[in-house]
A and B are shown apart, each in its own frame.
Chain A
Amino acid sequence: MKKNETISNLQIRNLLITTVIGVGILALPNQMVTILDNDGWIPIILGGLLVIPFAVMLDRVYKLYPDKNIYQIGREVYGKLIFNIFMIIILMYFVIQDAYVARIFAEVVKAYLLETTPTEIIIITILLVSAYLARCEIQVLGRVATLVYIILITLVGFLVLISLPDADPTNMLPVFNADFKKLPSAITGALFSYAGYEVVFIAYSSSDDKNNILKYIIRGLLVVIGIYLIVFVITLSLFGIDQIKRELWPTIAIANEVDLPGYFLENLEGIVLALWVVVVYSTLGPLLFAASRIFLNIFTTKSHDFFVLLLIPIIYVISILPVNVVEVYEKFGKVLNYFIAVSIIGIPAILFIGALVKKRRSKA
């Protein structure tokens, strides 16, 4: 049935949301406040809005070449060799991002849930389970994303509810008091939290309603911005500016803080973490999927299952490279940032400019 090979726009939107929101949400309040104090919410919004033009650019590219997927377009515009090299860079980006997410996830699980279990086991298990998801077709990813979206919203709602009694909104003040010279570096920091939205580009060609995709992508980005903002506001209200600067993962620490013994609500981080496992899983899966799809297009094979299995040991090795948590965030993170810049900005911009130029040349 025709319907079966397509993915609905709603599913694309959910795919975007669940892929982007992974481990970034844990440390985001801390990173923003470190740079900009109480005004950390500004770069969050601006960073998110900054992604939109790139999404628009890519939409235009697709409209110029309807019914072609991104690899075909790229090859047409730039020629097979150059584009393949470009794709390999993007592939490396996906792989490194996957390793980064897996590693941070394992660190968090180790800290809160399983203290003595070796990190390797945690990483291997989550990678294997992600492989199960990555081996499916894009429609299945869309469906899983919709199901996980429900869990994500539940999680955020839960966090809001439990923090309301103890939250002190005055902690948000003072506003507009920070050193605005640091704004650009803050925005770039926030921008990296939106990484992962590129997976929707792969879903583009399978959508059942190509004209409206952009609307949904923007809606998805707005939801992500909204969720990041909500988390920022509640963590700041609950902790105050100084404690946030110290907490490594303020988002989970919210659950730690809640203590309403009269209502039998204590030690809630278990629930938060349990739900969050599924959220991270929905980030890892699509990234792995995207990486293996690139392989598929470079080597033009029928399906990408094989590449998924091939990639897993590579990702595993990369993820256990950093020696400790600090190295993960500092060195690894920095390397990743370069890749993210290339991917978020690079793909759309390059394709767009290239496509425009080609159109102009062919007209002239």
Chain B
Amino acid sequence: MVDKISKDIKENVEEFKNTFKDADDLVYRNIKIGKKNKKEACLIFIDGMVDKSVISDYAIEVLFDEMEIDESNLDSYKTSLSEKISEESIAVHDVKEEDSYDKLVDMILAGETVLLIDGSDKALILSTRGWPTRGVQEPQTETVVRGPRDGFVETLRFNTALLRRHIRDPKLKIKTLQVGRRSKTDVAVVYIEDIANDKIVEEVINRINKIDIDYLPGSAAMEALIEDSYLSLFPQLENTERPDSAAASLLEGRVVIIVDNTPFVLMVPATIGTLFQSTEDYYSRWPIGTLVRFVRILSAILTAVSPALYIAFTAYHPGLIPTAFTLYLAASRVNVPFPAVIEAFLMEITIEILRESGTRIAGPIGTTIGIVGGIIIGQAAVEAGIVSPLKIIITAITTISFFAIPSYEWASSLRIIRFAFMFLAAVLGLYGLMLGIAILIVHLAKLESFTVPFSAPYSGLGLKEGDLKDTLVKAPIQKLKRRPQFTFPKDKTRMK
């Protein structure tokens, strides 16, 4: 591999052909330019990754229509051949000069076209990217009743454009990095310069640069590679498919990471407070927003703790529930052959199996079918007397609560915790469950997301500055004059 291309076009083309041997989708278009002194030139691009009309109409055709290339003139003007051609003879909207061979290879692989000119030691890179991509659609996992319906797509540049439409501020910075030795995936780090805290931005960029992997499959892998504790059950970054969410988080002082080939962008740092927020809150009136946030917190608690509570109360402490309820519970379990613990585990595992099989069917609709089917099976089980009806109801509540939580990863962690709690409750009753909760509290307090404590604002950071106004409740927008403190933003006021 050579370092730089030579002036001899035949050598160069030979080099390229060697590198891309057996890559039959490469096209080598030889043309001659100049009216009198025909110079040889070659356009190299990959079929399928370029917008072919740009090449034909704005490169080849224009080059054919060309003026005189007079080398003697060139020296006196002190311009190079490639520069002259790029500035005067090519109609493509973006043209760069490059002489590094590796870069040229990368550019071809990125969908650009390389124009080699005989006698010039610099090649031209024509911006011709174009490939099959889907249009902007509403994201399926984050729908709102009232609000914009656009979502990110798989192309980095389109995504950055969607972001820029929301924030037309020159201080919006987009830094592009490349991750992955073989995938060379483009990654963009987006932040607003005079709001985001420099340390956080620096930290993000450092961590991304440290990644050494051959293929970056998407933002989930990115998440795992840069987060503080990848072993923890809990996500420390948030992700979204919606440009408006991403834009809002930029304005809170967070950093957005866009990964090419995936519509899910990452938002950093994330805390418990932010994981309970959803875009829907900002598009409805504030009392509803507040109510819904309480419902979410309640759901989170229910989904983690309900089966464990059931086990604790039926097997260990029937004295801790009101009498009428106790007797009813006992009656409903009279002929059930399994102990309460086994019953609980059985039902939970069944639901997990149903959920997993529901995922094979298309989209979230499949999951719902799975759950409903589960409830029907549960009904049959009750009729047959294998499980008690109350347990079915509890399982149903647990599962439905799961879906009330806006962040899917967060809810999934709670699923796992649910099993741990069930186990603890099975061994030590209510005491065991509370031990589990104590461990959970400590773990959440220990967790940090890019040096911001994960349990903010409930654990101190931001309490004084009123972060609770946008996490625990949804205050009317007039009250949210300051930015949330957990990101240590530089510019603290939003509104006067």
Contact = CB atoms under 8 A, between A and B. Distances in A.
Interface of A: 1, 3-4, 8, 10-11, 14, 109, 113-114, 117, 121-122, 125-126, 129, 132-133, 136, 139-140, 142-144, 146-148, 150, 261, 264-271, 273-274, 277-278, 281, 285
Interface of B: 199-200, 313, 316-317, 319-325, 428-435, 437-439, 441-442, 444-446, 448, 451, 453, 455, 458-461, 463-464, 488
Given A261-B322, A264-B322, A267-B321, A114 B428 contact: yes
Contacts of B446: 136, 140
Contacts of B455: 143, 147
Contact of A274 (B319, B434, B442, B459): B434
B320 A144 contact: no
8 contacts: A113-B429, A133-B438, A146-B458, A147-B455, A147-B458, A267-B320, A267-B321, A271-B320
B461 A8 contact: yes
10 closest A-B pairs by beta carbon, nearest first, are A270-B320, A143-B459, A143-B445, A277-B434, A266-B322, A1-B451, A11-B460, A146-B460, A144-B445, A146-B459
B438 A10 contact: no
Contacts of B428: 114, 117, 121, 125
A125 B453 contact: no
Nearest to A148: B441
A3 B6 CA distance: 54
B442 A142 contact: no
A136 to B, nearest CB: 6
A140 B445 contact: yes
Contacts of B433: 274
B463 A278 contact: no
Nearest to A278: B438
A261 B322 CA distance: 8
Nearest to B451: A1
A268 B319 CA distance: 9
Given A146-B459, A273-B430, A266 B323 contact: yes
A268 B322 CA distance: 8
A143 B460 contact: yes
B7 to A, nearest CB: 52
Contact of A150 (B323, B444, B458): B458
Nearest to B463: A10
A343 B445 CA distance: 29
Contact of A132 (B199, B439, B458): B439
A136 B435 contact: no
Contacts of A261: 322-323
A139 B320 CA distance: 36
A37 B192 CA distance: 65
Nearest to A110: B431
Given A132-B442, A267-B319, A270-B320, A114 B459 contact: no
